[in-house]
Every structure is written in structure tokens, then in C-alpha cells.
Amino acid sequence: MSGRPIALVTGAARGIGAACARALAGEGFRVAIHYNTSSEAAEKLAGELPESFALRADLAVPAQVEALLDTLGERAGRVDVLVNNAGLTRNAPTPVMKLDDYDAVAALARGTWYLTKLMLRRFMMKQKSGRIIQISSVVGHIGNRGQSPYTMAKAGLDALTRSLALELADRNILVNSVAPGFIETEMAAALPDQVKNRILERIPLGRMGTPEEVAEVVAFLATRGSYIQGSVIHVNGGLYGG
């Protein structure tokens, strides 16, 4: 087994997750790069980071979450940091949003909860240490047109952070959220120009953020920030202050 601490980053093949994986590797972590569909990108990233490895799971499927934990047990034997970064939007005005769209978003939220629960049981409670960092979103606080299930899921993630922070404080496990504003990734690129321009007008810093600007806060919470518990750290260029 490696002497490096282990971090699992979900949805790490691209975007904010990939930036988190790089930032954590820069802090000396061996990173488990979780992906669902982008195996090529995940394997490539793992090849670039010391002792890192890629592993696949659809987090919406409980048996695959369980298998992910088994693989982590075999390959790493412990997990010091969990970054719950995987996220999914389905965009449509609520009156025409399909129930299937709601279910897809909710299934990932359930999977995130299940992964966290198993992570606690299998590793962090026994280790009596760990850090969990949720990547939520500003829209869980301020809402967003056409994203009602996503905003529910992200608000729920911050509520999970609060609950876990209370449950786990005496176990030496720190749980916090990082709530990005609008960040330049493929997820944001999928937004129509009209929506993007409307957003830019509302951001006091006048630009979208970069994945690296989110990742540096994640790296801070993973390695320092020892008196931060149950907090939501906003990274949004002034759009919303919490």
C-alpha cells in the first residue's frame, strides 16, 4: 500500500472533478478517479497523477456503488477524503419537465447519499478520521429557472452536509460543501447563450469562474480548514454571499 493519503473524487473525468483530482494530487494525495461513461478521459487523467487510478460506477445503481467500495478496499484499503462532485442537470420549465428527468436527478442524489453512507461504514468511522466535501451549487440557494429538480438536489446536498456535520463531529470527520456559481465547464457550455448572458450580467466579478478556482477551495478543505464544519463555502464571483 502507498503511504499517500487517499482521495476519491466522483465524476472526475472532466470539469470541476478533474480539477479537484489534479489539485488533490498536488497536495500529495493518491486520487481514485471515479467516472461513469468517460473511461478514456478518466484513464488518461489517472496516468498523469502519481499512483492514481480510475474506477467506474453508475452512482444511480446501488450495486455499482457497493462494487466501487469493494474496489477501493482492494486497491487502497482506506479513504481519507471523499469529494462528492458527480452532478446531473435536466433543464426544462417545470410544467413540461418529465417525471423521468426528475427521477434521473433524484437517483444521483440518492447514490451520493448511499456512497457517503458506505464510505462512513467501510472506512471513515473505523479510521476515526476523514473529510467529506460536497460540490453543491449556488442555485440550491437562489434557485434557477428550468432547473427545479437540480436545485432541489443541490439544496438537499447542503442539508446533508449540515446533518452529517452534527452526526460526525465527535468522530473526527469534517463535512463541508463547496457551492460553485457559474463555472466554465461542459455543463455550463450546454446552457443557451441567452441564459449565459443573463447570468453574466448578475455576476459582480463579471465573468464565470474556472474549475481550478473551485478546486483550490476543495484542496484547502481537504488538507487544512481544521475548524470548518458543516459550512457551505460559496465560490461564485459575488453572485450570492450565503
Ligand X SMILES: NC(=O)c1ccc[n+]([C@@H]2O[C@H](COP(=O)([O-])OP(=O)(O)OC[C@H]3O[C@@H](n4cnc5c(N)ncnc54)[C@H](O)[C@@H]3O)[C@@H](O)[C@H]2O)c1
Question: By the criterion CB under 6 A, which residues form the site for ligand X?
Answer: 11, 13-17, 36-37, 58-60, 85-88, 108, 135, 137, 180, 182-183, 185-188
**Smallest distance from ligand X to CB 212, Å:** 12
Give CA angle at 158 (226, 76), nearest 5°: 60
Nearer to ligand X, 108 or 232 (CB): 108
The residues that bridge with 178 in the sheet, in sequence order, are 135, 233
Nearer to ligand X, 36 or 231 (CB): 36
Give the active site residue among 35, 102, 114, 150. 150
**Smallest distance from ligand X to CB 120, Å:** 19
The closest of 236, 15, 16 to 144, measured between CA atoms, is 236
Reply yes or no on whether 150 is catalytic: yes
**Smallest distance from ligand X to CB 235, Å:** 9
Residue 1, C-alpha cell as written in the block: 500500500
CB burial of residue 22 (10 Å; 0-12, 13-18, 19+): buried
How many other β-carbons are positioned within 10 Å of the β-carbon of residue 61?
14
Nearer to ligand X, 168 or 232 (CB): 232
Nearer to ligand X, 173 or 183 (CB): 183
**Smallest distance from ligand X to CB 215, Å:** 10
**φ/ψ of residue 134, rounded to 5:** -95, 135
Which residue numbers are catalytic? 150
